[in-house]
Amino acid sequence: MAILTLMFGRDVVGTYEISKDKMILGRADDCDVVIDNLAVSRHHAIIEKKESEFTVNDLDSNNGTFINGQRIGGPTPLNFGDEIGIGKHIVIFDTHSSKGKIAAALASSGEARPDMDTSGRGTMFVEPEKMEKIQKKVTTARKAHLRVKEGTQTTPLIPIEKSDIVFGKAPDCDIKVKGLLAARRHAILTRLENGYQITNLAVLSPTRVNGARIESALLCDSDEVRMGRTTFVFHSEQ
């Protein structure tokens, strides 16, 4: 059976089995999936099942409906693993067998919590260009990325968009590393079939993962990687 997992950032808000042919998503209390936020219309989108096929369509909402970051203009087929963007929320369309894995794998990212507004208030209109940027940011945040650790401050995320990313002080490095002892080419992050691996390239200055000196290590979500005097926090793809 197909399920929907409602998410805000990396937090699971709720899971819903698709138990009938039509499922309404929106802010109103009579929706099958209630998304309690003013950027969401009262009846925002509909998921329909016809035999074994599923489609999603926008219900003339103020701010639009997105699939994997792209705004839709009519009934759009759904594939398992697709992410439906509504406001700042994501609804993952997946199989029932993935339900526990999704909930267990996703942990809070420390982002702001959604506004919990009453369904009787009007929908907040967001300019289309801004909504597209919001959807891009939400989608990017769910992909593997890095953040520079600077005390308690939240720094902009660094998307991991290449199979190999080189860290160092050299001008042609993908990500610059600060510090007197940082090497010109300090380390390389490689995407593997089972995750991401960090490999030390420096001779004199170490690369450390969670404080331990490494030559090579497979990274886990929230691991801290230190090179020179720069510490990166790794977030795995969710």
Q: Are residues 72 and 151 located together in one domain of the fold? A: no
Confidence bin at 51 (pLDDT 50/70/90): confident
Run of H or E including 50: strand 45-50
Region 121-147: what's the mean pLDDT? 63
Q: Which residue has the tokens 């929320």?
A: 89
pLDDT digits (tens, 9 = 90+) for 160-219: 888 899 999 999 999 999 888 899 999 999 988 888 999 999 998 999 999 999 999 999
Which of residues 32, 62, 94 is at a domain's end?
94
Domain residues for the domain of 178 are 143-236
Q: Are residues 87 and 147 located together in one domain of the fold? A: no
Structural domain contains residue 221: yes
Q: Are residues 73 and 156 located together in one domain of the fold? A: no
Instruction: Give me 96's structure tokens.
Output: 């029932």
Q: Are residues 90 and 12 located together in one domain of the fold? A: yes
Contacts of 150 (CB under 8 A, 6+ apart): none
Question: pTM score > 0.85 for this model?
Answer: no
Contacts of 115 (CB under 8 A, 6+ apart): 36, 37, 38
Q: Are residues 165 and 86 located together in one domain of the fold? A: no
Structural domain contains residue 99: no
Per the structure, the count of domains in the chain is 2
pLDDT for residue 124 is more than 50: yes
Q: Are residues 214 and 150 located together in one domain of the fold? A: yes
Structural domain contains residue 67: yes
d(CA 137, CA 6): 17
Q: Are residues 174 and 231 located together in one domain of the fold? A: yes
Q: Are residues 6 and 87 located together in one domain of the fold? A: yes
Q: Are residues 172 and 87 located together in one domain of the fold? A: no
Q: pLDDT at position 135, please?
A: 60
CATH number of the structural domain spanning residue 15: 2.60.200.20
Structural domain contains residue 46: yes
pLDDT, greater one: 134 or 181: 181
Structural domain contains residue 208: yes
pLDDT digits (tens, 9 = 90+) for 35-48: 988 889 999 999 99
Structural domain contains residue 134: no
Q: In 3-state terms, what secondary structure has residue 175?
A: strand
Confidence bin at 68 (pLDDT 50/70/90): confident
Which of residues 29, 62, 94 is at a domain's end?
94
Q: Can you name the residues that pair with 146 across neighbouring β-strands?
A: 158, 234
Confidence bin at 118 (pLDDT 50/70/90): very low
Short-list 94, 58, 83, 92, CA closest to 135:
83
pLDDT for residue 115 is more than 60: no
Q: Are residues 153 and 225 located together in one domain of the fold? A: yes
d(CA 91, CA 82): 8
Structural domain contains residue 136: no
Q: Are residues 86 and 148 located together in one domain of the fold? A: no
pLDDT for residue 112 is more than 50: no
Contacts of 39 (CB under 8 A, 6+ apart): 63, 87, 88, 123, 124, 126, 131
Q: pLDDT at position 88, please?
A: 83
Structural domain contains residue 115: no
